[in-house]
Amino acid sequence: MRQIIFDTETTGLDPAQGHRIVEIGCVELVNRMSTGNNLHIYLNPDRDSDPEALAVHGLTTEFLSDKPRFADVADEFVKFIQGAELIAHNAAFDVKFFNAELAKTGRGAITEYCDTITDSLLHARSLFPGKRNSLDALCDRFGISNAHRTLHGALLDSQLLAEVWLAMTRGQDALLIDVDDNNQGANGGVVLAKFDASGLPVLKANDAELAEHETYLAALDKSVGGECVWRKMDAPAAAN
């Protein structure tokens, strides 16, 4: 399973108003493991950033003046995302910018090159309805340090989102995990087997333990003025 966590920085909010991408950051995960095979590109947008956007990312027109244009890196970008699941926070924003940039180069929409696109913000809202689900808020919730993040950056935000995404979607297939060489996946990840309880020993209570249990239940009966809930739960088992 190949996933690309991605983010952009732009000159403004709407490509329909002529705004462009100025930075692309992509982090590759294979079988939920970071590979280090990331893509990070600064772009010359051939225009100034809006003051509000510049305050967010800090990428000045002067800094971007000698950087490649999107058309120069379009093939590299399309090849990198080919067949992967793309994951972004508020994905609709990034997707509309990529679609506009790809259209300028005569290419189709971004969905023609990837397997699917997942919005981590929508996923977070389903897990934490009514709560703040910005990237910063999720970092705080999952204990992920973002202290080094003074400005937004596409690669840095993608790296943080990768950690958040793994935390949000982490599952466990077994209670007991025995890690050895035979449990290593092709990319170094641990392969978890389905838990088989058939080999666990069954330890039955002895007479003294059963007597102590009965004494405890009798005390519960007295406290509730009748039959406690545990006796009602034991009744079907006793009938069998």
Q: Which residue numbers are catalytic?
A: 152
β-bridge mates for residue 60, sequence order: none
The SS3 call for residue 64 is helix
Query: Residue 194 has what DSSP assignment?
Result: P
In terms of Cβ atoms closer than 10 Å to its own Cβ (0-12, 13-18, 19+), residue 182 is exposed
Which of 11, 36, 42, 50 is closest to 24 using CA atoms? 42
Dist CA 86 CA 2 (whole Å): 9
Amino acid at 165: W
Buried b vs exposed e over 82-112: b needs ≥16 C-beta within 10 Å? eebbbbbbebebbbbbbbbbbeeeebeebee
Residue pair 173/195 in contact by the 8 Å Cβ criterion? yes
